[in-house]
Structure 1
Protein backbone atom coordinates (compact mmCIF):
# COMPACT_ATOMS: atom_id res chain seq x y z
CA UNK A 1 0.00 0.00 0.00
CA UNK A 2 1.01 3.65 -0.41
CA UNK A 3 1.50 5.63 2.78
CA UNK A 4 2.82 9.05 3.74
CA UNK A 5 5.70 8.64 6.18
CA UNK A 6 7.26 11.21 8.49
CA UNK A 7 10.89 10.08 8.75
CA UNK A 8 12.40 13.27 10.18
CA UNK A 9 11.20 16.60 11.54
CA UNK A 10 10.95 19.66 9.37
CA UNK A 11 8.80 21.48 6.86
CA UNK A 12 6.04 19.95 4.75
CA UNK A 13 8.58 18.59 2.26
CA UNK A 14 9.78 15.97 4.80
CA UNK A 15 6.54 14.03 4.22
CA UNK A 16 7.46 11.17 1.88
CA UNK A 17 5.24 8.68 0.05
CA UNK A 18 6.43 5.13 0.56
CA UNK A 19 5.29 1.61 -0.29
CA UNK A 20 4.57 -0.28 2.94
CA UNK A 21 3.02 -3.67 3.69
CA UNK A 22 -0.69 -3.66 4.46
CA UNK A 23 -1.24 -3.54 8.23
CA UNK A 24 -2.28 -6.76 9.91
CA UNK A 25 -5.22 -6.16 12.27
CA UNK A 26 -4.67 -7.30 15.84
CA UNK A 27 -7.24 -8.62 18.27
CA UNK A 28 -10.32 -6.40 18.27
CA UNK A 29 -9.21 -4.47 15.17
CA UNK A 30 -10.53 -4.23 11.63
CA UNK A 31 -8.74 -3.38 8.42
CA UNK A 32 -10.13 -0.25 6.79
CA UNK A 33 -9.45 0.60 3.16
CA UNK A 34 -8.97 4.33 3.55
CA UNK A 35 -10.81 6.55 1.08
CA UNK A 36 -10.23 9.85 2.90
CA UNK A 37 -8.28 11.04 5.94
CA UNK A 38 -8.49 14.33 7.80
CA UNK A 39 -5.49 16.63 8.18
CA UNK A 40 -5.34 17.82 11.79
CA UNK A 41 -3.19 20.58 13.21
CA UNK A 42 -1.59 18.24 15.73
CA UNK A 43 -0.02 16.35 12.80
CA UNK A 44 1.63 19.59 11.70
CA UNK A 45 2.89 20.12 15.25
CA UNK A 46 4.37 16.61 15.31
CA UNK A 47 6.04 17.18 11.95
CA UNK A 48 7.59 20.46 13.17
CA UNK A 49 8.73 19.00 16.49
CA UNK A 50 6.33 21.17 18.48
CA UNK A 51 4.04 18.47 19.87
CA UNK A 52 4.51 17.80 23.60
CA UNK A 53 4.09 13.99 23.37
CA UNK A 54 5.55 13.10 19.97
CA UNK A 55 5.42 9.59 18.51
CA UNK A 56 8.57 7.77 17.56
CA UNK A 57 9.77 8.22 13.99
CA UNK A 58 9.26 6.98 11.35
CA UNK A 59 5.53 7.62 11.76
CA UNK A 60 2.55 7.53 9.44
CA UNK A 61 0.33 10.49 10.44
CA UNK A 62 -3.44 10.44 10.35
CA UNK A 63 -5.84 9.87 13.24
CA UNK A 64 -9.20 10.33 11.53
CA UNK A 65 -10.26 8.17 8.58
CA UNK A 66 -13.23 7.23 6.45
CA UNK A 67 -13.37 4.18 4.21
CA UNK A 68 -14.62 0.63 3.90
CA UNK A 69 -14.01 -2.48 5.97
CA UNK A 70 -13.17 -5.79 4.33
CA UNK A 71 -16.86 -6.63 4.63
CA UNK A 72 -17.91 -3.54 2.68
CA UNK A 73 -19.18 -1.50 5.61
CA UNK A 74 -18.83 2.26 5.03
CA UNK A 75 -17.25 3.69 8.18
CA UNK A 76 -15.59 6.65 9.77
CA UNK A 77 -13.23 6.10 12.65
CA UNK A 78 -10.48 7.30 14.94
CA UNK A 79 -7.05 5.68 15.12
CA UNK A 80 -6.63 7.11 18.62
CA UNK A 81 -2.94 7.49 19.47
CA UNK A 82 -1.15 5.28 16.93
CA UNK A 83 -1.68 7.20 13.72
CA UNK A 84 -1.49 5.44 10.39
CA UNK A 85 -4.33 7.11 8.54
CA UNK A 86 -2.28 8.78 5.76
CA UNK A 87 -2.32 5.48 3.91
CA UNK A 88 -4.42 3.28 1.67
CA UNK A 89 -5.21 0.95 4.56
CA UNK A 90 -5.12 1.13 8.36
CA UNK A 91 -6.02 -1.13 11.27
CA UNK A 92 -8.61 0.47 13.56
CA UNK A 93 -10.01 -0.75 16.87
CA UNK A 94 -13.55 -1.96 16.19
CA UNK A 95 -14.88 0.14 19.08
CA UNK A 96 -13.73 3.31 17.31
CA UNK A 97 -15.46 2.58 14.00
CA UNK A 98 -18.89 4.08 13.31
CA UNK A 99 -21.29 3.85 10.39
CA UNK A 100 -20.89 6.62 7.85
CA UNK A 101 -24.28 8.24 7.14
CA UNK A 102 -25.74 6.83 3.94
CA UNK A 103 -25.78 10.16 2.08
CA UNK A 104 -22.35 11.30 3.28
CA UNK A 105 -19.17 11.23 1.24
CA UNK A 106 -15.94 9.73 2.52
CA UNK A 107 -14.50 13.27 2.53
CA UNK A 108 -17.34 14.36 4.83
CA UNK A 109 -16.63 11.41 7.10
CA UNK A 110 -12.94 12.25 7.39
CA UNK A 111 -13.81 15.84 8.32
CA UNK A 112 -16.30 15.12 11.08
CA UNK A 113 -15.20 13.35 14.24
CA UNK A 114 -12.24 15.21 15.68
CA UNK A 115 -13.58 18.67 14.91
CA UNK A 116 -17.04 18.04 16.30
CA UNK A 117 -15.91 16.09 19.37
CA UNK A 118 -13.47 18.90 20.20
CA UNK A 119 -16.38 21.36 20.06
CA UNK A 120 -19.18 19.23 21.54
CA UNK A 121 -17.50 17.84 24.64
CA UNK A 122 -16.25 21.17 26.09
CA UNK A 123 -19.50 22.95 25.26
CA UNK A 124 -21.65 20.28 26.90
CA UNK A 125 -19.36 19.11 29.73
CA UNK A 126 -16.79 21.70 30.80
CA UNK A 127 -18.43 25.04 30.02
CA UNK A 128 -21.99 23.98 29.21
CA UNK A 129 -23.74 26.26 26.76
CA UNK A 130 -27.46 26.76 27.25
CA UNK A 131 -30.23 28.62 25.49
CA UNK A 132 -29.75 32.37 25.64
CA UNK A 133 -26.05 32.31 26.46
CA UNK A 134 -23.47 34.11 24.35
CA UNK A 135 -20.61 32.00 22.94
CA UNK A 136 -17.41 33.35 21.35
CA UNK A 137 -15.61 30.97 18.99
CA UNK A 138 -12.13 31.88 17.75
CA UNK A 139 -10.60 30.39 14.59
CA UNK A 140 -14.25 30.15 13.63
CA UNK A 141 -13.53 29.41 9.96
CA UNK A 142 -11.32 26.43 10.80
CA UNK A 143 -12.34 22.82 11.27
CA UNK A 144 -12.98 22.98 15.03
CA UNK A 145 -14.26 26.55 14.87
CA UNK A 146 -16.82 25.86 12.15
CA UNK A 147 -17.98 22.84 14.14
CA UNK A 148 -18.24 24.91 17.33
CA UNK A 149 -20.35 27.58 15.63
CA UNK A 150 -22.84 24.90 14.60
CA UNK A 151 -22.79 23.18 18.00
CA UNK A 152 -23.33 26.48 19.81
CA UNK A 153 -26.31 27.31 17.61
CA UNK A 154 -27.74 23.81 18.13
CA UNK A 155 -27.49 24.32 21.90
CA UNK A 156 -29.44 27.57 21.65
CA UNK A 157 -26.62 30.07 22.15
CA UNK A 158 -26.01 33.30 20.33
CA UNK A 159 -22.68 32.59 18.64
CA UNK A 160 -20.18 35.31 17.80
CA UNK A 161 -17.01 34.57 15.89
CA UNK A 162 -13.42 35.73 15.50
CA UNK A 163 -11.32 34.81 12.47
CA UNK A 164 -7.86 35.47 11.08
CA UNK A 165 -8.80 37.54 8.03
CA UNK A 166 -11.66 39.49 6.49
CA UNK A 167 -12.11 36.79 3.84
CA UNK A 168 -12.88 34.18 6.49
CA UNK A 169 -15.76 36.07 8.10
CA UNK A 170 -18.29 34.69 5.61
CA UNK A 171 -18.06 31.05 6.70
CA UNK A 172 -19.09 31.40 10.38
CA UNK A 173 -21.82 33.83 9.36
CA UNK A 174 -23.16 31.26 6.89
CA UNK A 175 -23.22 28.66 9.68
CA UNK A 176 -25.33 30.78 12.04
CA UNK A 177 -22.99 33.18 13.83
CA UNK A 178 -24.64 36.53 14.53
CA UNK A 179 -21.39 38.47 14.13
CA UNK A 180 -17.86 37.79 12.90
CA UNK A 181 -14.77 39.99 13.29
CA UNK A 182 -11.04 39.62 12.81
CA UNK A 183 -8.81 39.08 15.83
CA UNK A 184 -7.80 42.74 15.81
CA UNK A 185 -11.39 43.69 16.57
CA UNK A 186 -12.40 40.91 18.98
CA UNK A 187 -13.13 43.38 21.79
CA UNK A 188 -15.89 44.88 19.63
CA UNK A 189 -17.94 41.74 20.20
CA UNK A 190 -18.60 42.72 23.80
CA UNK A 191 -19.20 40.43 26.74
CA UNK A 192 -19.79 36.71 26.39
CA UNK A 193 -20.57 33.78 28.69
CA UNK A 194 -18.28 31.16 27.13
CA UNK A 195 -15.18 31.24 24.94
CA UNK A 196 -13.90 28.30 22.89
CA UNK A 197 -10.35 29.09 21.74
CA UNK A 198 -8.14 27.02 19.42
CA UNK A 199 -5.77 29.96 18.82
CA UNK A 200 -3.91 30.50 22.10
CA UNK A 201 -1.08 33.05 22.13
CA UNK A 202 -2.09 36.52 23.36
CA UNK A 203 -5.63 36.12 22.01
CA UNK A 204 -6.72 33.85 24.85
CA UNK A 205 -5.90 36.52 27.44
CA UNK A 206 -7.86 39.12 25.50
CA UNK A 207 -10.84 36.78 25.30
CA UNK A 208 -10.73 36.09 29.04
CA UNK A 209 -11.36 39.77 29.61
CA UNK A 210 -14.57 39.55 27.59
CA UNK A 211 -16.11 36.99 29.93
CA UNK A 212 -19.04 37.99 32.07
CA UNK A 213 -18.90 37.08 35.78
CA UNK A 214 -19.20 33.29 36.20
CA UNK A 215 -18.27 32.80 32.55
CA UNK A 216 -15.62 30.34 31.39
CA UNK A 217 -13.13 29.87 28.57
CA UNK A 218 -11.88 26.58 27.14
CA UNK A 219 -8.37 26.48 25.68
CA UNK A 220 -8.10 23.73 23.08
CA UNK A 221 -5.08 24.68 20.99
CA UNK A 222 -2.21 27.04 20.32
CA UNK A 223 -2.27 27.53 16.55
CA UNK A 224 -1.46 31.20 17.14
CA UNK A 225 1.53 30.56 19.37
CA UNK A 226 2.23 29.30 22.90
CA UNK A 227 -0.21 30.24 25.61
CA UNK A 228 0.70 33.23 27.71
CA UNK A 229 0.71 32.75 31.47
CA UNK A 230 -2.67 33.32 33.12
CA UNK A 231 -2.47 34.43 36.73
CA UNK A 232 -5.06 33.16 39.23
CA UNK A 233 -5.64 36.77 40.25
CA UNK A 234 -7.28 37.42 36.89
CA UNK A 235 -9.65 34.47 37.27
CA UNK A 236 -10.47 35.19 40.91
CA UNK A 237 -10.85 38.92 40.45
CA UNK A 238 -13.21 38.55 37.51
CA UNK A 239 -15.11 35.50 38.84
CA UNK A 240 -14.32 33.52 35.69
CA UNK A 241 -12.98 30.06 34.89
CA UNK A 242 -10.45 28.58 32.48
CA UNK A 243 -10.55 24.98 31.26
CA UNK A 244 -8.31 22.95 28.99
CA UNK A 245 -9.41 20.26 26.55
CA UNK A 246 -7.29 17.53 24.94
CA UNK A 247 -9.27 14.95 23.00
CA UNK A 248 -6.48 12.39 22.67
CA UNK A 249 -6.01 12.08 26.43
CA UNK A 250 -9.76 11.94 27.02
CA UNK A 251 -10.09 9.09 24.53
CA UNK A 252 -7.55 7.14 26.58
CA UNK A 253 -8.99 7.95 30.00
CA UNK A 254 -12.75 8.11 29.27
CA UNK A 255 -13.35 6.14 26.06
CA UNK A 256 -17.02 5.40 26.77
CA UNK A 257 -17.76 9.08 27.28
CA UNK A 258 -16.16 9.94 23.92
CA UNK A 259 -17.98 7.13 22.11
CA UNK A 260 -21.31 8.26 23.58
CA UNK A 261 -20.58 11.81 22.41
CA UNK A 262 -19.79 10.47 18.94
CA UNK A 263 -23.19 8.78 18.75
CA UNK A 264 -24.90 12.00 19.86
CA UNK A 265 -23.10 13.93 17.13
CA UNK A 266 -23.88 11.36 14.45
CA UNK A 267 -27.56 11.69 15.34
CA UNK A 268 -27.35 15.47 14.98
CA UNK A 269 -25.63 15.04 11.63
CA UNK A 270 -28.29 12.58 10.51
CA UNK A 271 -30.98 15.11 11.46
CA UNK A 272 -29.28 17.84 9.42
CA UNK A 273 -28.58 19.99 12.49
CA UNK A 274 -24.80 19.95 12.00
CA UNK A 275 -22.59 19.07 9.06
CA UNK A 276 -18.86 18.79 8.41
CA UNK A 277 -17.22 21.53 6.37
CA UNK A 278 -14.65 20.26 3.87
CA UNK A 279 -12.57 23.21 2.79
CA UNK A 280 -10.12 21.50 0.43
CA UNK A 281 -9.10 18.04 -0.73
CA UNK A 282 -5.71 16.79 -1.92
CA UNK A 283 -4.55 13.41 -3.23
CA UNK A 284 -2.60 11.36 -0.73
CA UNK A 285 0.67 11.88 -2.59
CA UNK A 286 0.26 15.67 -2.21
CA UNK A 287 0.14 15.58 1.58
CA UNK A 288 3.03 18.05 1.73
CA UNK A 289 0.95 20.60 -0.20
CA UNK A 290 -1.99 20.03 2.14
CA UNK A 291 0.22 20.67 5.18
CA UNK A 292 1.61 23.83 3.59
CA UNK A 293 -1.91 25.06 2.82
CA UNK A 294 -2.97 24.62 6.45
CA UNK A 295 0.26 26.15 7.73
CA UNK A 296 -0.20 29.25 5.60
CA UNK A 297 -3.53 29.87 7.40
CA UNK A 298 -5.21 29.80 3.99
CA UNK A 299 -7.61 26.98 4.76
CA UNK A 300 -11.19 27.05 5.93
CA UNK A 301 -13.06 24.05 7.29
CA UNK A 302 -11.22 20.74 7.20
CA UNK A 303 -8.49 19.83 4.75
CA UNK A 304 -8.80 16.20 3.64
CA UNK A 305 -6.53 13.77 1.80
CA UNK A 306 -8.12 11.26 -0.58
CA UNK A 307 -6.59 7.98 -1.75
Structure 2
Protein backbone atom coordinates (compact mmCIF):
# COMPACT_ATOMS: atom_id res chain seq x y z
CA UNK A 1 0.00 0.00 0.00
CA UNK A 2 0.96 3.64 -0.37
CA UNK A 3 1.18 5.48 2.93
CA UNK A 4 2.73 8.33 4.88
CA UNK A 5 5.12 7.10 7.55
CA UNK A 6 7.32 8.78 10.12
CA UNK A 7 10.40 7.15 11.63
CA UNK A 8 11.34 10.09 13.86
CA UNK A 9 9.30 12.72 15.65
CA UNK A 10 9.29 16.33 14.51
CA UNK A 11 7.51 18.76 12.22
CA UNK A 12 6.20 18.37 8.66
CA UNK A 13 9.68 17.47 7.44
CA UNK A 14 9.44 13.97 9.00
CA UNK A 15 6.42 12.97 6.85
CA UNK A 16 7.49 10.60 4.05
CA UNK A 17 5.35 8.89 1.39
CA UNK A 18 6.50 5.29 0.94
CA UNK A 19 5.28 1.85 -0.11
CA UNK A 20 4.49 -0.57 2.71
CA UNK A 21 2.87 -4.01 3.01
CA UNK A 22 -0.92 -3.91 3.22
CA UNK A 23 -2.26 -3.97 6.78
CA UNK A 24 -3.47 -7.29 8.15
CA UNK A 25 -6.96 -7.17 9.62
CA UNK A 26 -7.10 -8.37 13.19
CA UNK A 27 -10.00 -9.94 15.09
CA UNK A 28 -13.26 -8.03 14.49
CA UNK A 29 -11.54 -5.85 11.89
CA UNK A 30 -12.15 -5.27 8.19
CA UNK A 31 -9.95 -3.93 5.39
CA UNK A 32 -11.05 -0.80 3.54
CA UNK A 33 -9.82 0.84 0.34
CA UNK A 34 -9.44 4.54 1.09
CA UNK A 35 -10.74 7.25 -1.25
CA UNK A 36 -9.90 10.17 1.06
CA UNK A 37 -8.10 10.61 4.38
CA UNK A 38 -8.73 13.38 6.85
CA UNK A 39 -6.07 15.72 8.24
CA UNK A 40 -6.72 17.01 11.75
CA UNK A 41 -4.80 19.50 13.89
CA UNK A 42 -4.25 16.74 16.44
CA UNK A 43 -2.19 14.97 13.76
CA UNK A 44 0.45 17.70 14.06
CA UNK A 45 0.78 16.82 17.75
CA UNK A 46 0.85 13.11 16.92
CA UNK A 47 3.76 13.63 14.52
CA UNK A 48 5.83 15.45 17.16
CA UNK A 49 4.64 13.18 20.01
CA UNK A 50 3.29 16.13 21.98
CA UNK A 51 -0.34 15.09 22.47
CA UNK A 52 -2.19 13.27 25.24
CA UNK A 53 -1.32 9.72 24.15
CA UNK A 54 2.32 8.72 23.68
CA UNK A 55 3.20 7.56 20.16
CA UNK A 56 5.47 4.74 19.01
CA UNK A 57 7.65 4.62 15.91
CA UNK A 58 7.40 3.85 13.07
CA UNK A 59 4.02 5.54 12.74
CA UNK A 60 1.41 6.16 10.05
CA UNK A 61 -0.44 9.27 11.25
CA UNK A 62 -4.13 9.99 10.85
CA UNK A 63 -7.38 8.72 12.33
CA UNK A 64 -10.11 9.33 9.70
CA UNK A 65 -10.93 7.87 6.31
CA UNK A 66 -13.66 7.45 3.73
CA UNK A 67 -13.61 4.25 1.74
CA UNK A 68 -15.25 0.95 0.84
CA UNK A 69 -14.55 -2.61 2.03
CA UNK A 70 -11.89 -4.25 -0.15
CA UNK A 71 -14.26 -7.13 -0.83
CA UNK A 72 -17.08 -4.78 -1.84
CA UNK A 73 -19.78 -2.84 -0.05
CA UNK A 74 -21.09 0.62 0.70
CA UNK A 75 -19.07 3.78 1.18
CA UNK A 76 -18.36 4.53 4.83
CA UNK A 77 -16.58 7.13 6.91
CA UNK A 78 -14.47 5.61 9.63
CA UNK A 79 -12.36 6.22 12.69
CA UNK A 80 -9.01 4.53 13.38
CA UNK A 81 -8.17 4.16 17.05
CA UNK A 82 -4.43 3.58 16.67
CA UNK A 83 -3.50 5.77 13.71
CA UNK A 84 -2.90 4.55 10.16
CA UNK A 85 -5.20 6.92 8.32
CA UNK A 86 -2.69 8.43 5.88
CA UNK A 87 -2.77 5.38 3.60
CA UNK A 88 -4.66 3.93 0.65
CA UNK A 89 -5.68 0.84 2.66
CA UNK A 90 -6.69 0.65 6.35
CA UNK A 91 -7.91 -1.94 8.83
CA UNK A 92 -10.48 -1.03 11.46
CA UNK A 93 -13.41 -2.33 13.46
CA UNK A 94 -16.59 -1.87 11.35
CA UNK A 95 -18.22 -0.68 14.60
CA UNK A 96 -16.16 2.49 14.11
CA UNK A 97 -17.61 3.18 10.63
CA UNK A 98 -20.81 4.88 9.46
CA UNK A 99 -22.54 4.72 6.04
CA UNK A 100 -22.21 7.95 4.07
CA UNK A 101 -25.59 9.09 2.68
CA UNK A 102 -26.05 9.98 -0.96
CA UNK A 103 -25.34 13.64 -1.53
CA UNK A 104 -22.68 13.83 1.19
CA UNK A 105 -19.17 14.10 -0.29
CA UNK A 106 -16.07 12.35 1.01
CA UNK A 107 -14.74 15.68 2.25
CA UNK A 108 -17.96 16.54 4.07
CA UNK A 109 -18.09 13.13 5.75
CA UNK A 110 -14.48 13.46 6.89
CA UNK A 111 -15.22 16.83 8.46
CA UNK A 112 -17.77 15.15 10.73
CA UNK A 113 -16.04 12.07 12.11
CA UNK A 114 -13.56 13.81 14.43
CA UNK A 115 -14.18 17.53 14.21
CA UNK A 116 -17.95 17.33 13.91
CA UNK A 117 -18.38 14.87 16.77
CA UNK A 118 -16.06 17.01 18.88
CA UNK A 119 -18.17 20.13 18.24
CA UNK A 120 -21.36 18.13 18.92
CA UNK A 121 -20.15 16.74 22.26
CA UNK A 122 -18.54 19.99 23.39
CA UNK A 123 -21.93 21.68 23.18
CA UNK A 124 -24.19 18.77 24.16
CA UNK A 125 -22.14 16.69 26.59
CA UNK A 126 -19.38 18.87 28.06
CA UNK A 127 -20.99 22.29 28.44
CA UNK A 128 -24.69 21.33 28.23
CA UNK A 129 -25.60 24.40 26.20
CA UNK A 130 -28.95 25.92 27.17
CA UNK A 131 -30.98 27.95 24.68
CA UNK A 132 -30.34 31.67 25.10
CA UNK A 133 -26.81 31.32 26.45
CA UNK A 134 -23.83 33.05 24.84
CA UNK A 135 -21.14 30.87 23.27
CA UNK A 136 -17.54 31.72 22.40
CA UNK A 137 -16.00 29.47 19.73
CA UNK A 138 -12.23 29.70 19.48
CA UNK A 139 -10.80 29.26 15.96
CA UNK A 140 -14.22 29.81 14.45
CA UNK A 141 -12.91 29.27 10.92
CA UNK A 142 -11.25 25.94 11.74
CA UNK A 143 -12.51 22.40 11.36
CA UNK A 144 -14.24 22.18 14.73
CA UNK A 145 -15.05 25.87 14.92
CA UNK A 146 -16.95 26.18 11.62
CA UNK A 147 -19.26 23.36 12.72
CA UNK A 148 -19.55 24.52 16.34
CA UNK A 149 -20.68 28.00 15.24
CA UNK A 150 -23.46 26.47 13.15
CA UNK A 151 -24.55 23.93 15.79
CA UNK A 152 -24.61 26.55 18.56
CA UNK A 153 -26.90 28.76 16.46
CA UNK A 154 -29.07 25.80 15.52
CA UNK A 155 -29.45 24.78 19.16
CA UNK A 156 -30.58 28.21 20.29
CA UNK A 157 -27.51 30.07 21.51
CA UNK A 158 -28.45 33.63 22.32
CA UNK A 159 -25.21 35.03 20.91
CA UNK A 160 -22.29 33.29 19.21
CA UNK A 161 -18.86 34.95 19.30
CA UNK A 162 -16.06 33.45 17.22
CA UNK A 163 -12.36 34.16 17.33
CA UNK A 164 -10.30 34.08 14.14
CA UNK A 165 -6.86 35.34 13.20
CA UNK A 166 -7.56 37.23 9.96
CA UNK A 167 -10.30 39.43 8.48
CA UNK A 168 -11.10 36.69 5.94
CA UNK A 169 -11.53 34.06 8.63
CA UNK A 170 -13.64 36.38 10.76
CA UNK A 171 -15.86 37.05 7.73
CA UNK A 172 -16.29 33.30 7.20
CA UNK A 173 -17.30 32.78 10.83
CA UNK A 174 -19.90 35.54 10.52
CA UNK A 175 -21.17 34.03 7.26
CA UNK A 176 -21.72 30.75 9.12
CA UNK A 177 -23.74 32.46 11.83
CA UNK A 178 -21.42 34.13 14.35
CA UNK A 179 -22.96 37.31 15.73
CA UNK A 180 -19.55 38.86 16.46
CA UNK A 181 -15.87 38.03 16.01
CA UNK A 182 -12.71 38.78 17.97
CA UNK A 183 -9.01 38.60 17.04
CA UNK A 184 -7.31 36.15 19.44
CA UNK A 185 -3.99 37.96 18.93
CA UNK A 186 -5.19 40.38 21.60
CA UNK A 187 -4.29 37.69 24.16
CA UNK A 188 -0.67 37.53 23.02
CA UNK A 189 0.35 40.63 24.95
CA UNK A 190 -2.40 40.93 27.54
CA UNK A 191 -5.07 38.32 28.39
CA UNK A 192 -7.05 41.10 30.09
CA UNK A 193 -7.44 42.87 26.73
CA UNK A 194 -8.79 39.64 25.29
CA UNK A 195 -11.23 39.32 28.20
CA UNK A 196 -12.44 42.87 27.58
CA UNK A 197 -12.89 42.18 23.85
CA UNK A 198 -15.00 39.08 24.52
CA UNK A 199 -17.22 40.99 26.92
CA UNK A 200 -17.58 43.87 24.46
CA UNK A 201 -18.60 41.38 21.75
CA UNK A 202 -21.26 40.10 24.16
CA UNK A 203 -22.80 43.50 24.72
CA UNK A 204 -20.70 44.21 27.78
CA UNK A 205 -21.82 41.04 29.54
CA UNK A 206 -19.77 38.06 30.65
CA UNK A 207 -20.13 34.93 28.53
CA UNK A 208 -21.74 31.59 29.40
CA UNK A 209 -19.90 28.96 27.35
CA UNK A 210 -16.41 28.90 25.82
CA UNK A 211 -15.03 26.17 23.53
CA UNK A 212 -11.25 26.56 23.90
CA UNK A 213 -8.46 24.82 21.99
CA UNK A 214 -5.54 27.27 22.11
CA UNK A 215 -4.16 27.39 25.63
CA UNK A 216 -1.84 30.07 27.01
CA UNK A 217 -3.16 33.60 27.27
CA UNK A 218 -6.25 32.79 25.19
CA UNK A 219 -7.42 30.28 27.80
CA UNK A 220 -6.62 32.65 30.66
CA UNK A 221 -8.45 35.55 29.03
CA UNK A 222 -11.48 33.44 28.18
CA UNK A 223 -11.72 32.00 31.69
CA UNK A 224 -11.77 35.52 33.11
CA UNK A 225 -14.63 36.41 30.78
CA UNK A 226 -16.93 33.67 32.11
CA UNK A 227 -20.15 34.61 33.87
CA UNK A 228 -21.23 32.90 37.11
CA UNK A 229 -22.21 29.30 36.21
CA UNK A 230 -20.27 29.70 32.96
CA UNK A 231 -18.35 26.74 31.53
CA UNK A 232 -15.13 26.60 29.54
CA UNK A 233 -14.40 23.34 27.73
CA UNK A 234 -10.72 22.78 26.92
CA UNK A 235 -10.17 20.41 24.01
CA UNK A 236 -6.82 21.42 22.50
CA UNK A 237 -3.52 23.21 22.98
CA UNK A 238 -2.73 24.65 19.57
CA UNK A 239 -0.41 27.34 20.93
CA UNK A 240 1.77 24.68 22.59
CA UNK A 241 1.67 26.99 25.65
CA UNK A 242 0.30 26.01 29.04
CA UNK A 243 -2.42 28.12 30.61
CA UNK A 244 -2.15 29.38 34.17
CA UNK A 245 -3.04 26.89 36.87
CA UNK A 246 -6.72 26.97 37.84
CA UNK A 247 -7.22 27.24 41.60
CA UNK A 248 -10.32 25.55 43.04
CA UNK A 249 -10.95 28.56 45.28
CA UNK A 250 -11.15 30.84 42.24
CA UNK A 251 -13.72 28.53 40.66
CA UNK A 252 -15.74 28.39 43.86
CA UNK A 253 -15.62 32.14 44.30
CA UNK A 254 -16.94 32.78 40.80
CA UNK A 255 -19.18 29.70 40.32
CA UNK A 256 -17.37 28.85 37.09
CA UNK A 257 -16.45 25.45 35.66
CA UNK A 258 -13.52 24.15 33.62
CA UNK A 259 -14.21 20.97 31.67
CA UNK A 260 -11.75 18.89 29.66
CA UNK A 261 -12.76 16.96 26.55
CA UNK A 262 -10.90 14.32 24.53
CA UNK A 263 -12.88 12.47 21.88
CA UNK A 264 -10.86 9.30 22.50
CA UNK A 265 -12.94 8.63 25.58
CA UNK A 266 -16.08 8.39 23.44
CA UNK A 267 -14.62 5.39 21.62
CA UNK A 268 -15.14 3.33 24.79
CA UNK A 269 -18.84 4.24 24.54
CA UNK A 270 -19.58 3.80 20.82
CA UNK A 271 -23.18 4.92 21.27
CA UNK A 272 -21.83 8.42 21.95
CA UNK A 273 -20.24 8.47 18.51
CA UNK A 274 -23.27 6.88 16.89
CA UNK A 275 -25.61 9.52 18.28
CA UNK A 276 -23.44 12.39 17.09
CA UNK A 277 -22.65 10.91 13.66
CA UNK A 278 -26.28 10.02 12.94
CA UNK A 279 -27.34 13.58 13.70
CA UNK A 280 -24.46 15.25 11.83
CA UNK A 281 -24.74 13.12 8.68
CA UNK A 282 -28.48 13.70 8.51
CA UNK A 283 -28.09 17.46 8.94
CA UNK A 284 -25.41 17.55 6.22
CA UNK A 285 -27.45 15.42 3.80
CA UNK A 286 -30.42 17.74 4.31
CA UNK A 287 -28.31 20.84 3.66
CA UNK A 288 -28.88 22.13 7.20
CA UNK A 289 -25.20 21.87 8.19
CA UNK A 290 -22.44 23.19 5.96
CA UNK A 291 -19.04 21.58 6.45
CA UNK A 292 -16.33 23.92 5.19
CA UNK A 293 -13.68 22.20 3.07
CA UNK A 294 -10.28 23.85 3.21
CA UNK A 295 -8.52 21.84 0.53
CA UNK A 296 -7.83 18.41 -0.97
CA UNK A 297 -4.09 17.71 -1.10
CA UNK A 298 -2.31 14.92 -2.97
CA UNK A 299 -0.77 12.51 -0.49
CA UNK A 300 2.60 13.63 -1.88
CA UNK A 301 1.80 17.13 -0.53
CA UNK A 302 1.17 15.96 3.04
CA UNK A 303 3.99 18.17 4.35
CA UNK A 304 2.32 21.21 2.80
CA UNK A 305 -0.99 20.30 4.45
CA UNK A 306 0.67 20.18 7.88
CA UNK A 307 2.55 23.41 7.21
CA UNK A 308 -0.71 25.15 6.29
CA UNK A 309 -2.39 23.89 9.46
CA UNK A 310 0.41 24.96 11.75
CA UNK A 311 0.73 28.38 10.09
CA UNK A 312 -3.04 28.96 10.38
CA UNK A 313 -3.34 29.36 6.61
CA UNK A 314 -6.23 26.90 6.35
CA UNK A 315 -9.95 27.00 7.02
CA UNK A 316 -12.33 24.11 7.61
CA UNK A 317 -11.38 20.54 6.78
CA UNK A 318 -8.19 19.42 5.02
CA UNK A 319 -8.17 16.12 3.11
CA UNK A 320 -5.50 13.87 1.56
CA UNK A 321 -6.02 12.06 -1.75
CA UNK A 322 -4.16 8.73 -1.44
CA UNK A 323 -4.27 8.15 -5.21
CA UNK A 324 -2.11 11.20 -5.96
Matched pairs, number: 305
Q: 2:294 aligns with which of 273, 279, 283?
A: 279
Look up the match of 1:289.
Answer: 304
Q: CA deviation at 1:194?
A: 0.6
Q: Deviations over 1:250-272 (max 9, x none)?
A: 313x2222222222222222332
Q: Deviations over 1:126-178 (max 9, x none)?
A: 21112211111011111111111011011111211111222310111111111
Does the 8 A contact of 1:6 with 1:16 survive in 2? yes
- State the SS of the aligned residue for 1:57: coil
Moved more, 134-143 or 43-52: 43-52
Separation in 2 of the partners of 1:227 and 1:251?
27
Separation in 1 of the partners of 2:156 and 2:120?
13
Q: CA deviation at 1:188?
A: 2.8
Does the 8 A contact of 2:112 with 2:277 survive in 1? no
Q: Which runs of 5+ in 2 are unaligned?
A: 187-196
Separation in 2 of the partners of 1:11 and 1:212?
39
Q: 1:188 aligns with which of 192, 196, 200?
A: 200
TM-score, normalized by length of structure 1? 0.95
Look up the match of 1:13.
Answer: 13
Separation in 2 of the partners of 1:58 and 1:23?
14
Does the 8 A contact of 2:153 with 2:177 survive in 1? yes
Once the two structures are superposed, the pairs formed by residues 202-241 of structure 1 within 5 Å of their partners are 202-224=217-239, 225-241=241-257
Separation in 2 of the partners of 1:228 and 1:37?
36
- State the SS of the aligned residue for 2:168: helix
Matched, 1:267 2:282: yes
Q: CA deviation at 1:117?
A: 0.9
Separation in 2 of the partners of 1:101 and 1:275?
15
Moved more, 107-116 or 13-22: 107-116
Q: CA deviation at 1:187?
A: 4.3
Does the 8 A contact of 1:281 with 1:304 survive in 2? yes
Q: Runs ≥4 in structure 1, deviation > 6 angstroms?
A: none
Q: Deviations over 1:247-305 (max 9, x none)?
A: 013313x2222222222222222332213211112111111111111111111111111
Does the 8 A contact of 1:219 with 1:243 survive in 2? yes
